Chains A and B, each alone.
Chain A
Amino acid sequence: MKHLGKTLALAAGISLAAGAGTLAVSSDAAATWKPKKPVEFVIMAGKGGGADRLARFIQGIIKKNKLAALPLVPINKGGGSGAEALRYLKDKQGDPHVIMATLNSYYTTPLRNPGLGVDISKFTPIARLAEDTFQLWVHSDTKIMSVKDYVAAVKKAGPKNWKMGGTGKGQEDSLVTAMLEGAYGIKVTYVPFKGGGTVAKQLIGKHINSTVNNPSEQIGFWKAGKSRALATFTPDRLKAFPDVPTFAELGQNLAYFMQRSVVAPGGIPADAEAYYVDLFDKVYKSADWQNYLTSKGLLPGWLTGKSLQDYFVKEREAHRKLLMSMGEIK
């Protein structure tokens, strides 16, 4: 158990290091390419989830600020934890009218489904717009006020009676749960639900005992005084939650991020790539986007070009180790 915890912390450290190495690539290279038809904006998650809402929010920013001549048309291809979207992007090799919004299943899905034949290093990286964060949540009716109380409560209840809700197995929530279990030497029953929103609702209905929701998924209930955040899986405290400590402060180097990026199929013309980098640079710098990041507890993290591709490859290796240590892949 202890060993697993160290591996996980190490993996998390890698992701942190990569995140810190932010590089600004100049976007003033005049884009000569322009889309000839509406651009398909593939979302590798189903409708209504966090990734979907974020992608539609980006589309809204582009539309509202008239950043693009022809509209972006969002299409959900969330099937098989994004397997469908990845396969679609692979089949669209060289098509400059398709881009995709990613999340961490960008790494895990190809690792878990080698049969897909998808190699993410073959895609064209466009931009990383943010890193979403995770927090440990309990219902506000409980007497659990700190991580210390939490660990004691879990140990007292026993692994069979402590239910942790999260998204599907092998996805981010289950990885974060495994990290938590390893670090504190506890064991919980992991109950998978369809999406982060459902997980949040189950906690409020007291059908599960705790969650590792993204702040944006719980913020509504938190404001209504129905849930409590115990700690954040980040090195620094979040601006939206100044009173919530980080696991680093509590002596455990637990950190995990959900990247929110945009990629395009491989082999697209260089000027098309420049067009998209420029477009998302404008999105990133917009007031709407910056406000969203702060209020919903996301971390800024602009990254593009080769440094983004290096980041993706590094993260994929970190996730490979994570999944292997959990026994999800061989």
Chain B
Amino acid sequence: MEILGLLLEGFAVALEPINLALIVAGCIAGLFIGAMPGLGSVNGVAILLPMTFLVPPTSAIIFLGSLYYGAMYGGAISSIMLGIPGASTAVATTFDGRPMALQGKADRALVAAATASFVGGTISVVLFTLFAPPLADFALAFGPPEEFALLLLAFATFIGLGGDDIPKTFFSIFIGLMFSAVGLDIVSGNPRLIFFDLPGFYHGINFLVLAIGIYGIGEILWTVETTRGEMVVSRAAVTIRGVVRALADLRHNIRSMLMGSFLGYFVGILPAAGATPGSLMAYGVARTMSKNPETYGKGNVDGVVAPESANNAASTGSMLPMLTLGIPGSPTTAILLGGMVIWGLEPGPLLFIEHKEFVWGLIASLYAANLFALLINIAFIPAFLMVLRMPFTILAPVIFILCVVGGYAPTQDMHDVWLMLIFGVMGYLLRKLDYPLAPAVLAIVLGPLAEASVRQSLIMAHGSFGIFFERPISAIIMAIAIGLFAWPLFIAIRRRLSPGNAD
């Protein structure tokens, strides 16, 4: 019952007037940012992170946590209304959400998305509350070999879920990892990959630069092109009766909601996996489990419910490794992690011991944020439709300016702004050719961790790979990771061997 006491203390922190106000502000800001085409929780958290230096760290993380949640709710809105995912996490929501909107069932889709998000978020916070402290104790056992095994597992889950085009998925991972190697080699202490001797490369390529380039500039360029500057907005009338009826109808979708929540949470915990693969996986599982898989992609409510419950559950799940291990579970938590370091909080096992009020305040605030996000989401649905009707010729330049200023602010170096433009343009050109870009973004976050941990392990073991298999935790994780790597290969071989399917 120690947990309950800690949680109550956490609620005392979360429900302080300033924190409560920040939760509401975070949810609203997140909903709008998430609902904007091209902007998701990554951009929102990144852009608003510097503002949080004005308040104490606990209030700051509460604000950003609420923003993260709000953005997860909001991401579904443009997926459904415009068919453009508000963020990569809402990609799976477009599959059935968009057809529903086209069939005039936009209100049902929006309500389903919001409710599923609430269920997913709440289930995962409960799981978080119950299992965070034991995991924190466990976390000290993670040395360089375990870290590397964990990172390998993350990549394995990602590859298993990657696009159809295997070489392009791999290419994206490799290029992201390669960019992460720019800067300093900590093991030998030598600078490397300093392109054209530009001093700006000494600090490496900031993950934010790549993320804002791809998700901000690249995404807007893509949107401008695909829509020819004309946004098509579907009409949706939101009535109270419609909302109530939609809520009642959701009883048929409870199974998908629960499945999405649990799956999302566990995928979210795995470092590096995060909400995007979580939601895609949930969509895939829901379709496989369904009696009528052929209705998916044509406006099946389950196709909205499963990914939406999963992406919210995963966003909570991904905070667990961030807090307990100091390993980000998604690009957004990677930024949160950076924020914590600036606030002077060392994420890791000792966080739960040294900064109890911070951790439990955050957990309690997630319960509150979930509820507020649901209420605000439903209340604001008409307002979202207005913002999305704002002409894109106003939205686009404003977003571009935010990207440029946001890209400059963290390092205060114009070098990074130029790099961001290059990444944006290249990202756009590659995306047109079906190169998946999310793996590159995840790779640049994980790359330095992966390289350092493998090399530290090898130094510890004097060049022997045995170290990854001699230590029990590391060995188990390695085995799962290798299994996951082999699985798609196995499927591919079997498919190729089976007659009549020679592709």
Chain A residues engaging chain B, CB cutoff 8 angstroms? 40, 47-48, 53, 56, 75-81, 83-84, 87-88, 91, 112-113, 115, 160, 163, 168-171, 189-194, 197, 201-202, 204-205, 207-208, 220
Q: How far is the CB of B322 from chain A (nearest CB, A)?
A: 14
Whether the Cβ atoms of B143 and A202 lie closer than 8 Å is: yes
Out of A160, A189, A190, A207, name the residue touching B143 (CB < 8 Å): A207
Residues of chain B with a CB closer than 8 A to A220's CB? 350, 354
- Say whether B496 faces chain A, with CB atoms less than 8 Å apart: no
Whether the Cβ atoms of A169 and B188 lie closer than 8 Å is: yes
Most buried by B among A83, A87, A113, A207: A207
Interface 9-mer from B28-36, B78-86, B199-207, B393-401: B199-207
Cα(A56)–Cα(B341), bound, Å: 12
Cα(A197)–Cα(B144), bound, Å: 15
- In the complex, residue of chain A having the shortest beta-carbon distance to the beta carbon of B343: A48
Q: Contacts A47-B342, A80-B184 known; A205 to B143 CB distance under 8 Å?
A: yes
Whether the Cβ atoms of A189 and B462 lie closer than 8 Å is: yes
Residues of chain A with a CB closer than 8 A to B199's CB? 79, 83-84, 87-88, 91
Most buried by B among A40, A112, A168, A189: A168
Q: Which of B343-365 contact A (CB under 8 A)?
A: 344, 346, 348, 350, 354
Whether the Cβ atoms of A48 and B346 lie closer than 8 Å is: yes
Residues of chain B with a CB closer than 8 A to A194's CB? 186, 452
Residues of chain A with a CB closer than 8 A to B187's CB? 168-169, 192
Whether the Cβ atoms of B412 and A75 lie closer than 8 Å is: yes
Q: How far is the CB of B361 from chain A (nearest CB, A)?
A: 21
Whether the Cβ atoms of B202 and A47 lie closer than 8 Å is: no
Given contacts A48-B342, A112-B190, A163-B460, 18 further A-B pairs with CB under 8 A are: A53-B344, A56-B344, A77-B202, A79-B183, A80-B183, A80-B194, A81-B189, A84-B202, A113-B191, A168-B187, A191-B456, A192-B189, A193-B452, A194-B452, A201-B350, A204-B140, A205-B141, A205-B142
Q: How far is the CB of B356 from chain A (nearest CB, A)?
A: 14
- Say whether B459 faces chain A, with CB atoms less than 8 Å apart: yes
Out of B191, B338, B354, B462, name the residue touching A47 (CB < 8 Å): B338
Whether the Cβ atoms of A47 and B456 lie closer than 8 Å is: no
Interface residues on B, range: 35 or more
Out of A79, A191, A202, A207, name the residue touching B184 (CB < 8 Å): A79
12 pairs across A/B with beta carbons < 8 Å? Answer: A75-B412, A79-B204, A80-B191, A84-B199, A88-B199, A168-B189, A189-B460, A193-B456, A201-B350, A202-B144, A204-B140, A207-B144
Q: Contacts A53-B344, A84-B203 known; A168 to B141 CB distance under 8 Å?
A: no
Whether the Cβ atoms of A201 and B348 lie closer than 8 Å is: yes
Residues of chain A with a CB closer than 8 A to B140's CB? 204-205
Residues of chain B with a CB closer than 8 A to A163's CB? 460
Q: How far is the CB of A199 from chain B (nearest CB, A)?
A: 11
- In the complex, residue of chain A having the shortest beta-carbon distance to the beta carbon of B201: A79
- In the complex, residue of chain A having the shortest beta-carbon distance to the beta carbon of B144: A207
Q: State the 3 A-B residue pairs at the shortest beta-carbon distance, nearest first.
A: A79-B203, A79-B202, A207-B143
- In the complex, residue of chain B having the shortest beta-carbon distance to the beta carbon of A204: B140
Residues of chain B with a CB closer than 8 A to A205's CB? 140-143
Whether the Cβ atoms of A160 and B191 lie closer than 8 Å is: no
Q: Which of B454-488 contact A (CB under 8 A)?
A: 456, 459-460, 462
**A-B pairs with beta carbons under 8 A, tally:** 94
Q: How far is the CB of B122 from chain A (nearest CB, A)?
A: 33
Cα(A320)–Cα(B304), bound, Å: 64
- In the complex, residue of chain A having the shortest beta-carbon distance to the beta carbon of B194: A80
Residues of chain A with a CB closer than 8 A to B142's CB? 205
Q: Which of B194-223 contact A (CB under 8 A)?
A: 194, 197, 199-204
Cα(A10)–Cα(B314), bound, Å: 57
Residues of chain A with a CB closer than 8 A to B204's CB? 79
Cα(A47)–Cα(B410), bound, Å: 11
Cα(A298)–Cα(B408), bound, Å: 35
Residues of chain B with a CB closer than 8 A to A40's CB? 412
Cα(A190)–Cα(B459), bound, Å: 8
Whether the Cβ atoms of A191 and B460 lie closer than 8 Å is: yes
- In the complex, residue of chain A having the shortest beta-carbon distance to the beta carbon of B202: A79
Cα(A117)–Cα(B125), bound, Å: 54
Residues of chain A with a CB closer than 8 A to B188's CB? 169
Residues of chain B with a CB closer than 8 A to A169's CB? 187-189
Whether the Cβ atoms of B184 and A168 lie closer than 8 Å is: yes
- In the complex, residue of chain A having the shortest beta-carbon distance to the beta carbon of B182: A79
Most buried by A among B141, B199, B204, B460: B199
Cα(A192)–Cα(B344), bound, Å: 22
Whether the Cβ atoms of A87 and B459 lie closer than 8 Å is: no
Out of A48, A56, A81, A191, name the residue touching B459 (CB < 8 Å): A191
Whether the Cβ atoms of B186 and A83 lie closer than 8 Å is: no
Residues of chain B with a CB closer than 8 A to A83's CB? 191, 199, 202
Cα(A80)–Cα(B201), bound, Å: 9
Residues of chain B with a CB closer than 8 A to A207's CB? 143-144, 460
Residues of chain B with a CB closer than 8 A to A170's CB? 189
Cα(A88)–Cα(B460), bound, Å: 36
Q: Which of B136-153 contact A (CB under 8 A)?
A: 140-144
Cα(A163)–Cα(B458), bound, Å: 12
- In the complex, residue of chain A having the shortest beta-carbon distance to the beta carbon of B456: A191
- In the complex, residue of chain B having the shortest beta-carbon distance to the beta carbon of A170: B189
Q: Contacts A205-B142, A207-B144 known; A160 to B189 CB distance under 8 Å?
A: no
Q: Which of B50-90 contact A (CB under 8 A)?
A: none
Most buried by B among A75, A171, A190, A192: A192
Residues of chain A with a CB closer than 8 A to B342's CB? 47-48
Whether the Cβ atoms of A192 and B191 lie closer than 8 Å is: no
Q: How far is the CB of B86 from chain A (nearest CB, A)?
A: 30
Cα(A160)–Cα(B142), bound, Å: 21
Whether the Cβ atoms of B186 and A192 lie closer than 8 Å is: yes
Q: How far is the CB of B477 from chain A (nearest CB, A)?
A: 16
Residues of chain A with a CB closer than 8 A to B186's CB? 168, 192-194
Residues of chain B with a CB closer than 8 A to A77's CB? 202-203, 411
Out of A112, A193, A202, A204, name the residue touching B189 (CB < 8 Å): A112
